[in-house]
Amino acid sequence: MRRVVDASPTARRTPSRADPTVPCSPPFYPHYISPKQTLTAPIPSTKQAPATTEQAGTEAKPKTERRKRVLSGVQPTGSIHLGNYFGAIKNWVKMQEEFDAFYCVVDLHAITAGGHDPKELVKSTRSSAAIYLAAGLDPARSNVLGLDPARSNVFVQSHVSAHSELCWLLNCATPIGWLEKMIQFKEKARKAGEDVSVGLLDYPVLMASDILLYNADIVPVGEDQRQHLELTRDIAGRVNNLYGGGKWKKMGPKGSRAPSGRFRGGEILRVPDAYIPEAGARVMSLTDGSAKMSKSNPAEGSRINVLDSPDEIAKKIKRCKTDAFEGLEFGNPERPEATNLLTMYQLCTGMTKEEVLGECGSMRWGDFKPALTDAVIEHLTPIQARYAEIVEEEGYLDGVLKKGADAANEVAEKTVADVRDAMGFMERIH
Ligand code: TYM
């Protein structure tokens, strides 16, 4: 019989400080990139200046605390797999409880590899958005949608043209050497050979635009995005340094306001932090415990997709790579598969590492694999059921995406208008 596991956020153990469901302020998050990790020095004139277009500029009014904001995205290329889910999406669902949330399907990023299939892109964009919504299902809270569109703005990146515009402005402030150093670019460019597109090189600047447009405080991603987050911080610092502070102030008469309504001066762009989870930041391939689970691996058996059927999941786990050691353990460098599969079990069941070891430490692979299969299926079944409802309900997904894009456009337009203003572009004449 299948073991019933309740891995919903509310069914978890005593909340820990690292648990984003616990109301807390950012210092409790232990996985931030250090705010000191910028290549450029922060501009000296920022001091207490409000860093966002929305929060500043309320002359004599008392300062109101702005809710912290979270932004993240997944590319709609191929199927969303357990790496995307545990590395990113599951944390988004928790974070919406506490933050103003903007989650986008980054379709502009999906074409950077070149030669995409247009029909597939539109299908995959809708399907990704539906998975975002379905992934938040929390049965313990009577079918409340996790990525509740009222709390999370779910939208499609290309529906907000400010992403492309800010990308251009940031391109012109980003040294090409910073982009050529990106590990993902180097790896992908090597594979693409002569076909490598300008878009692939520019990919991280577009990602920086996604984040900086929304003045995001925190960006939940998997480990593989750490370098891109560092670059985002560097780009924000450089733009602030080049065009912010006193230089921006002098763009208009003393005490004048930028297009967004905030006073000119201070930081133009907020420098964000990354949130990289302790478990799930790097879910590894089923066929090689030392390689990341990835959409681009041609071997379908290397990953479990969120929408895989129970049969597919069982087959993939049955065939996955194991080793010849006795028992199961975390952290043995000679046993990457054991660490990966135990971590997968931990994430699906919501148990602690210690609990997993207590239950599975002395198991053989032959006993553990069926337990893992059950745990993965149990975890994904409600998500798949909700997904089916979402795609069947006519107009629902479109409604969510429209509302999300409207909200996103409102924020993004203000930010990009301020960047244009600080960089010396003439204001539009209405
Ligand atoms: P993408 O689409 O490759 O992956 C989406 C998210 O999933 C995480 N991830 C993983 N986490 C753990 N284990 C894995 N095996 C694994 N594979 C992928 C990624 O770290 C990511 O968080 N550049 C981004 C998309 C992006 C974005 C953004 C993210 C565009 N704009 C703004 C955050 C904020 C990407 O390629 O992700």
Give the separation between CA 339 and CA 332, rounded to whole angstroms.
7
- For the stretch 81-110, pLDDT in tens is 999 999 999 999 988 888 889 999 999 999
Give the separation between CA 387 and CA 307, rounded to whole angstroms.
9
Give the separation between CA 401 and CA 409, rounded to whole angstroms.
12
pLDDT of amino acid 427: 85
Give the separation between CA 162 and CA 210, rounded to whole angstroms.
9
In this prediction, residue 44 has a pLDDT band, given cuts at 50, 70 and 90, of very low
75 lines ligand 1 (CB under 6 A): yes
Among all chains, which residue has been given the structure tokens 């597939």?
Answer: 120
CA of 423 to the centre of ligand 1 (A): 30
CA of 372 to the centre of ligand 1 (A): 24
Give the separation between CA 26 and CA 402, rounded to whole angstroms.
30
Going by CA atoms, what residue is nearest to atom 24 of ligand 1? Answer: 74
In this prediction, residue 51 has a pLDDT band, given cuts at 50, 70 and 90, of very low
79 lines ligand 1 (CB under 6 A): no
Going by CA atoms, what residue is nearest to atom 6 of ligand 1? Answer: 84
Of 350, 407, 416, residue with least CA distance to 71: 407
Region 310-334: mean pLDDT is: 97
Q: Is 68 exposed, middle or buried (0-12, 13-18, 19+ CB in 10 A)?
A: middle
Plot region of 395 (φ>0 → left; ψ -120 to 50 → alpha; else → beta)? left
In this prediction, residue 10 has a pLDDT band, given cuts at 50, 70 and 90, of very low
Going by CA atoms, what residue is nearest to atom 26 of ligand 1? Answer: 73
Region 63-85: mean pLDDT is: 89
105 lines ligand 1 (CB under 6 A): no
Q: Which of 221, 293, 296, 303 to mutate to test the pocket of ligand 1 (most atoms within 8 A of CB)?
A: 221
pLDDT of amino acid 46: 23
CA of 270 to the centre of ligand 1 (A): 21
Return phi, psi of residue 67, to 5°: -65, 140
Cα-based torsion angle of the residue sequence 92, 93, 95, 101 in order, rounded to the nearest 10 degrees: 70
Q: Which of 224, 229, 278, 290 to mutate to test the pocket of ligand 1 (most atoms within 8 A of CB)?
A: 224
pLDDT of amino acid 22: 31
Region 161-180: mean pLDDT is: 98
Q: Which residue has the higher pLDDT, 44 or 75?
A: 75
pLDDT of amino acid 63: 56
pLDDT of amino acid 365: 97
Give the separation between CA 102 and CA 92, rounded to whole angstroms.
9
Residues noted as catalytic: 188, 292, 295
Region 399-413: mean pLDDT is: 93
- For the stretch 226-237, pLDDT in tens is 999 999 999 999
In this prediction, residue 64 has a pLDDT band, given cuts at 50, 70 and 90, of low
Of 309, 278, 378, residue with least CA distance to 6: 378
- For the stretch 274-294, pLDDT in tens is 999 999 999 999 999 999 999
229 lines ligand 1 (CB under 6 A): no
Give CATH for domain 45-54+67-282+394-422: 3.40.50.620
Region 120-144: mean pLDDT is: 73
Q: How many residues does the chain have?
A: 430
Atom of ligand 1 nearest to the CA of 281: 12
- For the stretch 116-129, pLDDT in tens is 999 999 999 999 99
Give the separation between CA 273 and CA 285, rounded to whole angstroms.
27
CA of 44 to the centre of ligand 1 (A): 33
User: Do the domains 45-54+67-282+394-422 and 300-392 sit in the same CATH topology, yes or no?
Assistant: no
CA of 158 to the centre of ligand 1 (A): 17
Q: Is 57 exposed, middle or buried (0-12, 13-18, 19+ CB in 10 A)?
A: middle
Provide the residue type at 138 as one letter: D
292 lines ligand 1 (CB under 6 A): yes
Provide the residue type at 234 as one letter: D
Give the separation between CA 20 and CA 185, rounded to whole angstroms.
31
Instruction: Flag the least confident range among 92-96, 246-250, 263-267, 381-385.
Output: 92-96
pLDDT of amino acid 19: 35
211 lines ligand 1 (CB under 6 A): yes
In this prediction, residue 167 has a pLDDT band, given cuts at 50, 70 and 90, of very high
Helix (H, G, I), strand (E, B) or coil at 402: helix
277 lines ligand 1 (CB under 6 A): no
Domain boundaries, the chain: 45-54+67-282+394-422, 300-392
Region 337-349: mean pLDDT is: 98
Average pLDDT, the chain: 85
Instruction: Flag the least confident range among 22-36, 127-141, 318-332, 345-359.
Output: 22-36
Provide the token pair at 323. Answer: 């080793």
Give the separation between CA 106 and CA 234, rounded to whole angstroms.
21
Region 147-169: mean pLDDT is: 89
232 Cβ neighbours under 8 A, 6+ residues apart: 204, 207, 208, 211, 212, 219, 272
Among all chains, which residue has been given the structure tokens 């989650």?
Answer: 103
pLDDT of amino acid 430: 84
Instruction: Flag the least confident range among 133-147, 299-313, 396-410.
Output: 133-147
Give the separation between CA 333 and CA 398, rounded to whole angstroms.
46
Return phi, psi of residue 140, to 5°: -65, -15
Residue 153 pairs in a beta bridge with 102
**Answer CATH for 300-392 from 1.10.240.10, 2.60.40.10, 3.40.1260.20, 3.40.50.300:** 1.10.240.10
pLDDT of amino acid 65: 67
Provide the token pair at 103. Answer: 């989650």
Indicate if the pLDDT at residue 142 is higher than 80. Answer: no
Contact of 291 with 70, CB cutoff 8 Å: no
Half-sphere exposure of 284 (CA within 13 A, CB side): 17
Going by CA atoms, what residue is nearest to atom 27 of ligand 1? Answer: 73
Cα-based torsion angle of the residue sequence 56, 59, 60, 62 in order, rounded to the nearest 10 degrees: -10
pLDDT of amino acid 48: 33
Indicate if the pLDDT at residue 204 is higher than 70. Answer: yes
Cα-based torsion angle of the residue sequence 292, 294, 298, 302 in order, rounded to the nearest 10 degrees: 60
Give the separation between CA 317 and CA 63, rounded to whole angstroms.
54
Return phi, psi of residue 176, to 5°: -60, -30
